[in-house]
Amino acid sequence: MLNKIILILLLSMTLMLMPETSMAFFKNTLNVDEFHQLVDEETKNNDAKAQINNIEISGFTLTDKHFENIQFNNTSWKNINAENKTFNNVVFEDCSFDNIDLRNSTLINVVFKKCTLKNVVLNNSTIKNLRFEKSKLTSTDTNVRNSYRNLVADKITFEETELKNINFFDSKAEFYFNNSKLDDVTGMGLKLGSALYFNNTTAFDIDFSSSNLSTLEVKNSNIKNSKANGCTIGRLLLENSVLDFPISGGKSFDSVISNNTGNVVVSGTPIKKMKITGCPKDTRIVKFGGDIFDSVEIENCNASDIVFFRSTGKYVSIENADIYKLDLRSSNIEYLKLNNINIETELYYDKTNVKKLEATNISFGDGLEHTREGSNIEIKPNK
């Protein structure tokens, strides 16, 4: 008995001497009444942002409707119903969330830092300035796969954050993905006023088809095995990136700018203005299929294929390019300008009609396959 008492005293002294960082591993489990009492006390007695640390809550419904000016540190939330709640100026840091229902809620200036969010449902919520930093969002339950759908938001930012099996279907928001990783993320049907910004981001198997975007911007990013079909896009900007999928079947694009990005495939989409510069040496194809466009300019592009198949446009300019294949078949172009280009193996412009051709400093590779049946122009080497 004496030994047991001594052991308890030693343990108590050890806990008293432990630093606060170590004490963070010991969480206090609260029931619903204790949780709300703690929140009320901390917010009532704190003019600045209230600090709630090292707690664990599980298996109940939040009764308070409004949470404001609170920072939760090292808290665990599991099987919590927080539907129809408002979170205003709230920060969650080093927190974990598992099976949380936040449907029909309002989030204003909410930040998640170094948090894990698993099977969190945020459907039909209204958001103003939501931010995730160094966090991880996953959905493992098929019943909550559409857990972030139909959001109405101004800005949602993901900084150094991982997303897996997440669905933003039918939402309206500007999404910013910075230094992040996306896997199996769907945002089909994003509504008018939405935008997508990818910067230093890696994405695999994402789908934002049938969306209405003011901007789709991809910088210094690698996006593979993905889809963006049937979109309306105001401004499409591709810079120093890799895309291995076509952006096709869109309703309309106001402007497309691609710089140092390979494999640009835009097909079946009316385009007002497009400019492609600096294609990397390993670029396989720059393709326009069935497009109607005002102007397309391609400069300093070393591509294996440049294809305008069954396209109609006012102005096409290709300058300072080394091309293996140039295919202009069955196209109608008002003004075609070719300057300082080498076409190595294939040149096709059968059934192509051009009102004005300006071709200077053109060279062909030995054994070039060259067909022009039914065309009103002839492109000749003159370099």
Alpha-carbon span 124 to 129, nearest angstrom: 16
Task: Quote the Cα angle for 362-330-246, to 5°.
Answer: 85
**What does R_g of the chain's alpha carbons equal in angstroms?**
29
Would you state the pLDDT for residue 24? 44
Task: Name the burial class of residue 307, with classes exposed (0-12), middle (13-18) and buried (19+) by CB atoms within 10 angstroms of its CB.
Answer: buried
Cα 245 off chain centre by: 14
Three-state DSSP at 3 gives helix
Amino acid letter for position 130: L
Residue type present at position 198: F
Going along the chain from its start, the domains and CATH numbers come out as 27-167 (2.160.20.80), 246-383 (no CATH)
Cβ neighbours around 35 below 10 Å, total:
21
Q: List the one residue out of 129, 91, 127, 98 whose CA is nearest residue 112.
A: 91
Q: What is the pLDDT of residue 289?
A: 61
Reading the block at residue 165, the tokens are: 């099996």
Give the predicted TM-score (pTM) of the model. Answer: 0.87
Q: Where does residue 272 rank: exposed (0-12), middle (13-18), buried (19+ CB within 10 A)? A: middle
Residue pair 135/117 in contact by the 8 Å Cβ criterion: yes
Q: How many CA atoms lie within 13 A of 330 on its CB side?
A: 6
pLDDT along the chain (383 residues), means of 10: 42 45 63 94 83 96 93 97 97 97 97 97 96 96 75 97 95 98 94 96 95 95 90 91 77 84 72 84 66 86 83 92 92 96 96 97 95 96 86
- How much is the pLDDT for 272? 84
Output the CA–CA distances (angstroms, integers) from residue 370 to 32, 35, 328, 331, 345, in the order listed. Answer: 78, 78, 12, 16, 8
Q: What is the distance of C-alpha 64 from the center of its chain?
A: 34
Residue given tokens 């069935």 in the structure block:
290
Half-sphere exposure of 311 (CA within 13 A, CB side): 29
Give the integer Cα–Cα distance in Å for 187 and 209: 7
- Spatial distance between the Cα atoms of 107 and 91, rounded to a whole number of angstroms: 11
